Amino acid sequence: MNLQLNDVQQPLQDSLARLLAREYDFGHRQQYVTAEAGHSPEVWAQLAELGVTAAAIAEAHGGFGGDAVDHMAISEALGKCLSLEPYHGTAVMAATAIGLVGSEAQQARLLPRIGQGDLQVAWAHGEAVAGRVTVCAGHGVDGWWLYGAKPCVLHGAGAEYLLVTAQAAGEGVQLFLVDARTQGVHRDAYRLIDGTPAADVTLDGAPAERLGKLTPALLQRLLDTGISAACAEMVGAMDAACTLTVAYLKTRKQFGRLIGSNQALQHRAVDMLVALEQSRSLSVSLALALAGRNDLAGADVPSHAAKVFVTRNARQVCQEAIQMHGGIGMTEEYAVGHYLRRILVLDQLHGDMQFHLGRLEGRPE
């Protein structure tokens, strides 16, 4: 499936590709992994200057008025270079949530800062059991207070704010904005298998600002947007792994001949490319459904199917890429193995493959 970008999206994609090629090759990326911030603040500022962080923010708040298609295109580009930047939590989840649920005052205060790259927000929704929210919100004369824990919050240690889902008495799951530096917030920082910074967050009477009324439909819409972006990032990782593998088959020689002349390896490479293009088509279809540009009904069903299908294909493609590289594919110094690590992290984001299979099968939570 081919997607025609508009006159705003295409120049942004071209500029983004040039920036990432210059600043986010594998050598630079490995330096960012060891940085204290866990990413590159300089690159993050350049992304904001390009308009990447503002692409899907409403024009009224300084953005370009984009939608899930913009998130998809940008996430795919970031996936190709194994980006460590906090784009997903801040520009996808937080900006979308504030745009959907936040009051006019909250939107006016927060969205311009996100678009300018001045504000980083970590998405804190997942808990020990996928699909369940046990963090509690209490309300008193002084406002809202949160109690509970959110494990494995991506970029949770470096974010200025946390966007937390919590159970409010009589209202179900609601969204709360928490100043991560305030009393009652404890963050235990660490790195994931792919180098992404994360933190286990404990909330012990942390003061919080509630966003507007969150309905189950709005929460699902928000999660679908995140799933769409995660699938696109996996497609980007698959694309890069395929490119590395095909190039390796064309240059590596054994017994005096290119290994790419082996028909069995050619067939395996073709299977990788087929899996990539199938996944890309489903990713595009989901983004278009969320943007209201195709005739798919009930975007929640395509989101579950997309997460399962793309994750399965991404694992297959990256595992094949490592196998076809041989021993070098397992080394820390070579990029191809890092794509599988990234896929394993993205699999857990917004529910893993088994969780979404359960939703497709209609299993209870």
In this structure, CATH architecture of domain 122-214:
Beta Barrel (2.40)
CATH fold group of domain 9-119 = Butyryl-Coa Dehydrogenase, subunit A; domain 1 (1.10.540)
pLDDT category at 293 given cuts 50, 70, 90 is confident
Side chain identity at residue 19, one-letter code: L
| Dihedral (CA of 254, 255, 261, 265) sign | negative
Q: How far apart are CA 325 and CA 245, in angstroms?
A: 7
pLDDT category at 141 given cuts 50, 70, 90 is confident
Which residue, among 16, 116, 101, has the nearest Cα to 61 in the 3D structure? 116
CB 82 within 8 A of CB 194: yes
205's torsion region: left (phi>0), alpha (psi -120 to 50) or beta? left
CB 338 within 8 A of CB 194: yes
263-290 and 68-80 helices cross at what angle (nearest 10)? 150
**Non-local CB neighbours of 30 within 8 Å, separated by 6+ positions:** none
Q: How far apart are CA 88 and CA 83, in angstroms?
A: 10
Side chain identity at residue 241, one-letter code: A
- Portion of the chain with pLDDT greater than 70, in percent: 96
Q: Is residue 7's pLDDT more than 80?
A: no
Q: Across all residues in the chain, what is the average pLDDT?
A: 93
Backbone angles phi, psi at 86, to 5 degrees: -80, 40
pLDDT category at 299 given cuts 50, 70, 90 is very low
Which residue, among 239, 227, 173, 196, has the nearest Cα to 351 in the 3D structure? 227
Side chain identity at residue 6, one-letter code: N
Element (H, E) at 113: helix 104-115
**CB neighbourhood size of 257 (10 A):** 9
Q: Where are the beta strands (DSSP E) in the chain?
A: 121-124, 136-140, 143-154, 161-168, 172-179, 185-191, 197-210, 253-254, 257-258
336-348 and 216-251 helices cross at what angle (nearest 10)? 170
**CB neighbourhood size of 75 (10 A):** 28
> What local confidence, expressed as pLDDT, does residue 128 receive?
87
**Model confidence, pTM:** 0.94
pLDDT category at 1 given cuts 50, 70, 90 is low
**DSSP-derived secondary structure for 16-33:** HHHHHHHH-SHHHHHHHH
CB 72 within 8 A of CB 233: no
> What local confidence, expressed as pLDDT, does residue 275 receive?
97
pLDDT tens, position by position, 311-330: 999 999 999 999 999 989 98
> What local confidence, expressed as pLDDT, does residue 232 receive?
97
- Portion of the chain with pLDDT greater than 90, in percent: 83
> What local confidence, expressed as pLDDT, does residue 4 receive?
73
* 3-class secondary structure, 276: helix
pLDDT category at 285 given cuts 50, 70, 90 is very high
* 3-class secondary structure, 199: strand
pLDDT tens, position by position, 327-361: 899 899 999 999 999 999 999 999 999 999 998 88
pLDDT tens, position by position, 93-118: 999 999 999 999 999 999 999 999 99
Q: Taking the mean position of all CA atoms in its chain, how far away is CA 5?
A: 21
> What local confidence, expressed as pLDDT, does residue 360 receive?
86
Domain limits of the chain? 9-119, 122-214, 217-361
pLDDT tens, position by position, 183-239: 999 999 999 999 999 999 999 999 999 999 999 999 999 999 999 999 999 999 999
CATH number of 217-361: 1.20.140.10
pLDDT category at 2 given cuts 50, 70, 90 is low
